[in-house]
Structure 1
Amino acid sequence: MARQSTHEDEKAAAALHEDALADVLRRLPPRSLAAARSVCKAWRAAVDGRALLLLHPVRGVFVNYVDHDRPHLFARPSPPSAVPGIDDLLDFIPKEYRRWWSVLDHCNGLLLCDMEWPSRFIVCNPATRQWALVPQRAGAKQGDHEGAYLVFDPAVSPHYEVVLIPVVPEKPPPPDRRKVDEERRALLREQEKDAEFCLDWFFSLPDGAVTANNDNVEETHQAHQIQQLPSVEEPDDDPCRLMEWPPVPWTLQVFSSRTGQWEEKAFVREDEPAGIVQDMRLDPPSKSLFHGPRQWYAVYLQGALYVHCRGSFVARISFTDDKYRVIKAPANIEYAKLYVGRLENRVCFGITHECQLRVWTLNESYGKMEWVMKCQDDLMHCAKHVGENSREMHGAWIVKEEDTVPKESSEWDSDNDDIFEVNDKVDAEFYVNQFDILGFHQYKEVVFLVGHFGVVAYHLDTSKVQYLGNARPECYYLSHSNGVYESFVYDRRSC
């Protein structure tokens, strides 16, 4: 018995030592933590066992609003004493770059913002208040890329990259018929110079075609002769329609903060293409005139950028071996908002359509790429409850604005805060509020949903629902077109 007690004491002492070590290590910034992980097996076990390189507090959600000149952070308010402080309003960016702007992407604590679309970007860190202006790309013009994305891993390098995804080649506009007719008439006049006089065209006219208007007769004559001419050479109206997409190699424009320059980077395809260009065009372009998103979502994870692309596929672009792979999307419903993100340490794909939530995670075991259904649930009752009771519901999260005064701690208890019960009875005549995905919690199985600015956190494993608050800024003018364009879950991490 004494021997067993001694053994248990040794285990307890070891666990206490590991807890103390983990408590010290978690205070290190990511790069130092990654270096500490390689010191010895005990330190590696402490880092990996408690996922210290992954666990960073979710600070809130950056939201771009339809027809609004700036993004806002929707979050639980931070007290003035919070360390490190977060500049919710991004006021550290000079005002000349904040006339009409939005967030394009988020990656491991950094934001990519567009200031003068499509050629002026800013990369910033709201935690450290550092920012950098990305130099303009030579020859950049509107519509020459489908989306701009950020690649950054502070555990590997302090440098980041901005990646532009090329557009699917569009069908060329039809030739100018007036120009073609003018060329054919010019050819006609050249032939008439040596032609003998002939009235065959006159006697071939149908009854009633001859009028007193000589101009009409002349036009009829010219039209008849033009029809007899050989057609003028015209270029191929769609030379790209049968081209494989994405092509091989797939050349992307990439900006590196290490070199401070834009460069072309070629990626070799693994496996099959998504299809041909004319098939890709059947999928509507990502940029919506109304409730977006204006570019598809992406996530960077373990050295690869996963980008949702036009044509209903996700491109896995590896920056470790300069290869890419096409992964067919698990769903593609027209007019539905699709979201590609990170759920814990996995790539996930989410969709809401008519209050039906579906979430898949990507299984990459043994080189295979397949989507596994994680959750499928009917959220109609939840959407109805939020729609009916949003005025009476009070969540702890707010939209930070100039005159907002923090009232309480920024720490969110995702297991207990603001839980509400949903009535299962649905009135068919009541207008059901539609839910859209705001984003995924990177470290918990939680999806953030918004319905007419009312935001909830939905737990995929327990179906528990938490009301977070109203995400509408007070400075946002009232209009029938109000809504959310894009949204990005922001995790606080020091780089």
Structure 2
Amino acid sequence: MGCDDPSWRCHCFPSEGDRVVADPSRNKNKMEAPLLDDLLANVLSRLPPCSLAASRCVRKDWCSLIDDRHLLHADLLPLRLDAFFFLGRILAPHPCFFSPPSVARRVGGRLDFLDTFDSGDLRIIDHCNGLILFDERIANPTTRQWMHLPVVPMSPFYKLTDLRMDMSLVYDPMVSPDHFEIFKVPLVPNSIFYRSIKLDHGSDSHKKFIEESSQWPLSSPCTTHVFSSRKWRWEERSFVRQGGGEPVDETIADLKFWPKDFQRLAIYLKGAIYVHCKNNSLMRITLSNDKYQMIKSPVRNKIIDSNGFFHLGKSEKGVYFALLWNDNNLPQFRVWLLNESSSCGGQMEWVLKTNVSLEAVMDNFPWNIDNRFSKPWILFNSVTQEEIQRAQEEKLEWDFENGVILETKDKMDEASYPVISFLGFHPYKEIAFFWVSISRVVSYHLNTSKVQELGILYHPPDDVVESFPYTPCWMELFENSN
């Protein structure tokens, strides 16, 4: 746009007749505002990362200032997927750490900074934004900090029902960098939580109670135990059903979800916990207002009961449900995204995002454990220092946006098709990960269908059945770690 354009001249150089007398006080305020912002930015930039992240929650204008000027270094936050932790079916001596060699040098993936090597102590319960939750400990493998946790309180309902109770870790360094919470999930109706009768486990009266309680409505309110790092203790916390009223088609039995291989019972995302229930519905627990709601499953047929099952996960745009099943012995893969926007009129809905056959993935990645140290990602569990050094010398780079579109090869005999397992989603990109032929980890881009091989995941004699995508966080969580 040139200087002869009237509109440009009007905004930049007003003509003599267009000039107005400015309000001196108004101009002064406009001049002072940037100076005050500069002064505040200078002060905030001197704070340690944890204090700076906490300052984002003080005022909206502080939050905008910190974000606009990039005062909080992104490299300290869990904003990239750098590794996986894997667990075996049998309690292995150590969780497997699967990552590029460069990450293995920086992150304590072997967990050798902890005070135990006991297989039971090292079983990973949950992970969230760089923190790893064990049965009695919480740790940050990146900073190598860890602490013991108080014993989880027991309530009568734990012995009275056959509900699968688990723990969900809640940690968001952008909101509260020095605070985390742990929730027992799923929530339990008060009619069960405060049940005080004494029944012998396995007795006829106990079996009768389980059978009868399964038919009870999923009533409101519900209660659970919550651990707060601020108070450093477990407390009871109740949640009411959002929208009011009692459900007509949900019972306690719908909560009885026992995860299969690689399935997650619960995930945390943006102030809410999503719990996978037996009927493949979701219990969404909103932490800011202590409310919960039930979200129906996107599938209503028997395909899950026969040869497929759901996987709950989170990725770039929110909460996802993945369905992996066999159709004539060929793997099929569907992904739904939970639309939580206000445009839904207050009702959440599932949107089908991906519906593909994984036949080409199976064809192109047969069983193979050769040259495992020449792959971009390596399993660091029992390898020697010489093998690690050899892998580090390769200096392989990795970009999830790369890859190739596979073509299906000649038809294989049905009996020869290898096994494929869904490992989870990339937390910040719409990418799914698969374990193919019990030996190779590959990524599948949901939008481009591009596929890449990360590396060899082979851990004899144990079978890998749980996966945890790991995003390193360099924030110092604990003032005094063990």
The answer to whether TM tops 0.5 is: yes
Partner of 2:185: 165
SS at 1:384 equivalent: helix
Partner of 1:321: 289
Query: What one-letter code is carried by the residue in structure 2 that aligns with 1:131?
Result: W
Partner of 1:464: 450
Query: What one-letter code is carried by the residue in structure 2 that aligns with 1:39?
Result: W
Change (3 A) 1:155 1:297: same
Structure 1 position 240 matched with structure 2 position 225: no
Q: Is the 8 A contact 1:315 1:326 kept in 2?
A: yes
C-alpha displacement at 1:149, in angstroms?
0.9
Structure 1 position 153 matched with structure 2 position 172: yes
Q: Is the 8 A contact 2:91 2:120 kept in 1?
A: no
> Aligned runs of 1:147-296 on 2, under 5 Å?
147-157=166-176, 158-166=178-186, 175=204, 238-245=211-218, 247-271=219-243, 273=247, 275-277=249-251, 280=254, 285-287=257-259, 291=261, 293=263, 296=264
Change (3 A) 1:490 1:430: same
Whole-Å separation in 2 of the counterparts to 1:420 and 1:492:
30
Whole-Å separation in 1 of the counterparts to 2:362 and 2:332:
10
| 1:123 alignment partner, one of 128, 133, 138 | 138
| 2:425 alignment partner, one of 429, 440, 444 | 440
C-alpha displacement at 1:144, in angstroms?
6.5
SS at 2:82 equivalent: strand
Query: What one-letter code is carried by the residue in structure 2 that aligns with 1:87?
Result: G
Structure 1 position 136 matched with structure 2 position 151: yes
Query: What one-letter code is carried by the residue in structure 2 that aligns with 1:382?
Result: V
Partner of 2:110: 89
Query: What one-letter code is carried by the residue in structure 2 that aligns with 1:385?
Result: N
Whole-Å separation in 1 of the counterparts to 2:252 and 2:286:
26
Query: What one-letter code is carried by the residue in structure 2 that aligns with 1:372?
Result: V
SS at 1:448 equivalent: strand
Query: What one-letter code is carried by the residue in structure 2 that aligns with 1:374?
Result: K
Partner of 2:82: 59
Q: Is the 8 A contact 1:145 1:164 kept in 2?
A: no
Q: Is the 8 A contact 1:337 1:436 kept in 2?
A: no
Give the alignment's TM-score, normalised by structure 1.
0.70
Query: What one-letter code is carried by the residue in structure 1 that aligns with 2:360?
Result: H
Change (3 A) 1:71 1:392: closer
SS at 2:361 equivalent: helix
Query: What one-letter code is carried by the residue in structure 2 that aligns with 1:243?
Result: W
Whole-Å separation in 1 of the counterparts to 2:315 and 2:270:
14
Whole-Å separation in 2 of the counterparts to 1:55 and 1:124:
14
Whole-Å separation in 1 of the counterparts to 2:292 and 2:88:
33
Q: How many residues align?
A: 396
C-alpha displacement at 1:270, in angstroms?
1.5
Larger Rg: 1
Give the alignment's TM-score, normalised by structure 2.
0.71
Give a deviation string over 1:359-408, Cα, whole Å, max 9, x none. Answer: 11110122221111111110012113212666578631111124251533
Change (3 A) 1:28 1:370: farther
SS at 2:419 equivalent: coil
Whole-Å separation in 2 of the counterparts to 1:54 and 1:95:
27
Partner of 1:397: 377
Q: Is the 8 A contact 1:286 1:292 kept in 2?
A: no
Whole-Å separation in 2 of the counterparts to 1:413 and 1:255:
38
Partner of 1:102: 123
Partner of 2:324: 352
Change (3 A) 1:74 1:52: closer
Partner of 1:361: 337
Give a deviation string over 1:34-88, Cα, whole Å, max 9, x none. Answer: 746843857545669x9999872211111111114231111111268x5xx2001
Give a deviation string over 1:183-226, Cα, whole Å, max 9, x none. Answer: xxxxxxxxxxxxxxxxxxxxxxxxxxxxxxxxxxxxxxxxxxxx
| 1:333 alignment partner, one of 260, 279, 304 | 304
Query: What one-letter code is carried by the residue in structure 1 that aligns with 2:80?
Result: P
Partner of 1:113: 134
Q: Is the 8 A contact 2:78 2:471 kept in 1?
A: no
Change (3 A) 1:410 1:491: farther
Change (3 A) 1:469 1:302: same
Q: Is the 8 A contact 1:31 1:154 kept in 2?
A: no
Percent identity for Structure 1 against Structure 2: 32
Aligned Cα root-mean-square deviation (Å):
3.8
C-alpha displacement at 1:279, in angstroms?
5.2
| 2:314 alignment partner, one of 339, 342, 354 | 342
> Aligned runs of 1:10-21 on 2, under 5 Å?
none
Query: What one-letter code is carried by the residue in structure 2 that aligns with 1:428?
Result: D
Q: Is the 8 A contact 2:424 2:432 kept in 1?
A: yes
C-alpha displacement at 1:243, in angstroms?
1.5
C-alpha displacement at 1:423, in angstroms?
3.4
Q: Is the 8 A contact 2:217 2:251 kept in 1?
A: yes
Partner of 1:76: 100
SS at 1:381 equivalent: helix
Change (3 A) 1:459 1:470: same
SS at 2:364 equivalent: helix
Whole-Å separation in 2 of the counterparts to 1:432 and 1:29:
50
Partner of 1:16: none
Whole-Å separation in 1 of the counterparts to 2:268 and 2:140:
17
Partner of 2:26: none
C-alpha displacement at 1:137, in angstroms?
2.4
Change (3 A) 1:68 1:40: closer
C-alpha displacement at 1:336, in angstroms?
3.3
SS at 2:52 equivalent: helix
Query: What one-letter code is carried by the residue in structure 2 that aligns with 1:59?
Result: D
Q: Which stretches in structure 2 are left out of the alignment for 5+ residues?
A: 9-40, 193-198, 476-482
SS at 1:78 equivalent: helix
C-alpha displacement at 1:139, in angstroms?
3.4
Change (3 A) 1:388 1:62: closer
Query: What one-letter code is carried by the residue in structure 2 that aligns with 1:308?
Result: H
Whole-Å separation in 2 of the counterparts to 1:430 and 1:148:
39
> Aligned runs of 1:416-427 on 2, under 5 Å?
416=402, 419=404, 421-427=406-412
